[in-house]
Structure 1
Amino acid sequence: MEQSNTKPHLVLLSAPAHLMPVIELGKRLVTCRDVTVTIFVASFVQSAAAESRMVESALTTKLFDEIPSLSAAVRVVRPAFQVAISALETPPTALIVHVFAIECLRIADELKIPKYVFVSTNAWFLALIMYTPVLDKEVEGEYVDKKESFALPGCSPIRAEDLPDPMLFRTKANYYEYLKIGMEITKADGILVNTWEELQPKTLASLRDGNLLGSVAKAPVFPIGPINSEGLSLEQMTELAWGLELSQQRFIWVVRPPTQKSGGGSGLKVGNASDDMSSYLPEGFISRTRDRGQVVPQWAPQVEILSHPSCGGFFTHCGWNSAIECITNGLPMIAWPMYAEQRMNASC
Structure 2
Amino acid sequence: MEEATHSHHIVLLPPPGFLGHLIPFIELAKKLVSQYNFTVTLIIIPHDSEPQKSLLQGINPTTTNINSVFLPPVSIDDLPDDLNPDVLLPSRVIRSLPSLRHALSSLGTPATALVVDLFAVHAIDVAKQVGIPAYIFYVIAANELLLAIDLPKLNHDDHSVKLPGSIELNHEDLPDSVKDKNSEFRRWIVDLCSRYLLADGILVNSFLDLESEAFQELERRRPGIPPIYPLGPLIRTGLETESDRGTEILEWLNNQPPKSVLFVSFGSGGTLSVDQFSELGLGLELSGQRFVWVVRAPQENVSAAYLNAQKKDNGNKSKDPLEYLPPGFLERTKDRGLVVAGWAPQIQVLGHGSTGGFLTHCGWNSILESAIFGVPLIAWPLCFEHKMNAVFLTDGLKAAIRVKEINENGIVERGHVSEVVKQLMEGEEGKIIVKRMMDVKFAAANTLSQEGSSSKALAQVVRKWIN
State the TM-score, normalized to the length of structure 1: 0.79
Equivalent positions of 1:172-321 (< 5 A) are: 172-210=183-221, 217-229=224-236, 230-235=269-274, 236-241=276-281, 243=283, 251-256=291-296, 258-261=298-301, 277-278=319-320, 281-282=323-324, 292-293=337-338, 295-297=340-342, 299-321=343-365
* 1:105 corresponds to: 124
Q: Which has the higher helix share?
A: 2
Q: Residues of 2 paired with 1:277 and 1:120: CA distance?
A: 32
* 1:74 corresponds to: 90
Code of the aligned partner of 2:9:
H
Q: Residues of 1 paired with 2:371 and 2:114: CA distance?
A: 30
Code of the aligned partner of 1:123:
A
Contact 1:129 1:181 survives alignment (8 Å):
no
Q: 1:37 aligns with which of 32, 36, 40?
A: 40
Structure exhibiting the larger radius of gyration computed from Cα positions: 2
Code of the aligned partner of 1:85:
L
Q: CA deviation at 1:6?
A: 3.6
Q: Residues of 2 paired with 1:180 and 1:342: CA distance?
A: 22
Q: Residues of 2 paired with 1:290 and 1:23: CA distance?
A: 38
Contact 2:271 2:305 survives alignment (8 Å):
no
Q: CA deviation at 1:199?
A: 1.4
Change (3 A) 1:267 1:19: closer
Q: After superposition, give the CA deviation of every residue in 1:246-300 in whole Å (9 maximum; x if it has no partner).
A: 767654444555444389x998656769996526743798985788525253x55
Contact 1:255 1:295 survives alignment (8 Å):
yes
Q: Secondary structure at the match of 1:100?
A: coil
The reply to whether residue 21 of structure 1 matches residue 21 of structure 2 is no
* 2:110 corresponds to: 91
Q: CA deviation at 1:63?
A: 6.0
Change (3 A) 1:53 1:245: farther
Q: After superposition, give the CA deviation of every residue in 1:1-50 in whole Å (9 maximum; x if it has no partner).
A: xxxx74311111111322112222222222222212112233543xx444
Contact 1:307 1:329 survives alignment (8 Å):
yes
Q: Residues of 2 paired with 1:346 and 1:259: CA distance?
A: 22
State which drifts further: 223-232 or 273-282: 273-282
Q: 1:331 aligns with which of 353, 372, 375?
A: 375
Q: Secondary structure at the match of 2:169?
A: coil
Code of the aligned partner of 2:104:
I
Q: Residues of 1 paired with 2:120 and 2:161: CA distance?
A: 26
Q: CA deviation at 1:305?
A: 2.7
Q: Residues of 1 paired with 2:62 and 2:279: CA distance?
A: 37
Q: Secondary structure at the match of 1:105?
A: helix
Q: After superposition, give the CA deviation of every residue in 1:286-341 in whole Å (9 maximum; x if it has no partner).
A: 985788525253x5543233222232221111011111110121101111111111
Contact 1:154 1:206 survives alignment (8 Å):
no
Q: Secondary structure at the match of 1:88?
A: coil
* 2:56 corresponds to: 55
Q: Secondary structure at the match of 1:91?
A: coil
Q: Residues of 2 paired with 1:171 and 1:30: CA distance?
A: 43
Q: Secondary structure at the match of 1:158?
A: strand
Contact 1:102 1:117 survives alignment (8 Å):
yes
Q: Secondary structure at the match of 1:95?
A: strand
State which drifts further: 243-252 or 22-31: 243-252
Q: 2:171 aligns with which of 160, 184, 187?
A: 160
**Gap regions ≥5 residues in structure 2:** 75-88, 237-268, 393-467
Q: After superposition, give the CA deviation of every residue in 1:95-122 in whole Å (9 maximum; x if it has no partner).
A: 0001011121211111211110011111
| Count of residues paired in the alignment | 328
Q: Residues of 2 paired with 1:274 and 1:87: CA distance?
A: 40
Q: Residues of 2 paired with 1:281 and 1:60: CA distance?
A: 39
Change (3 A) 1:9 1:257: farther
Q: Residues of 1 paired with 2:328 and 2:318: CA distance?
A: 13
Q: CA deviation at 1:243?
A: 5.0
Code of the aligned partner of 2:338:
G
State the TM-score, normalized to the length of structure 2: 0.61
Code of the aligned partner of 2:38:
V
Q: Residues of 1 paired with 2:188 and 2:305: CA distance?
A: 13
Q: CA deviation at 1:82?
A: 2.8
Instruction: Provide the identity percentage.
Output: 34
Q: CA deviation at 1:208?
A: 0.9
Change (3 A) 1:315 1:56: farther
Q: What value does the CA root-mean-square deviation take over the aligned residues?
A: 3.5
